[in-house]
Amino acid sequence: MSMLDFMASRKRPRPGELAKERLKVVLVQDRVKVNPELLEQIKADLLRVISERLEVDEQHVEITMTREDRWDKLQAAVPIKRQKITFEWDPPYYGPSAEGLQGPLQVEVEREEPSS
């Protein structure tokens, strides 16, 4: 293996690894008879349910079938969009120093969006 190949192998999976990953996908499809079309439907269903509660980044949702530890798995990666969560907080009284903090507060938290 030349130095160039060696550098390149950092970025790309080797053919052996690639074969395993491809096999995992194709075997689940062979066995469970899940085709890409069905996965799209499942994805749409999932999105509908989840977006009732959370703001989903629909562009980056990934639904995959894979096999791990002898199990066929449906994996869903659903990124959540940056959002504001507000809630009421009634801090407990700890002593004199917390005197100024009595009574419920409005707290606003901003969720970080992953940098991509």
Does position 24 interact with another protein (CB under 8 A)? The reply is yes
Does position 43 interact with another protein (CB under 8 A)? The reply is no
Does position 30 interact with another protein (CB under 8 A)? The reply is yes
Whether 107 and 87 have beta carbons less than 8 Å apart is answered as: yes
d(C-alpha 53, C-alpha 70), whole Å? 33
CA 10-13-15 angle, 5° bins: 130
d(C-alpha 14, C-alpha 51), whole Å? 38
Indicate which single residue of 2, 4, 11, 99 sits in contact with another protein (rule: CB under 8 A).
11
Indicate which single residue of 2, 4, 10, 99 sits in contact with another protein (rule: CB under 8 A).
10
Closest CA to 21 of 69, 66, 57, 76: 66
Quick one: 28 or 63, whose CB is closer to another protein? 28
Task: Provide the binding-site residues for another protein, judged by CB under 8 A.
Answer: 1, 6, 9-17, 19-20, 22-24, 26-27, 30-31, 67-68, 70
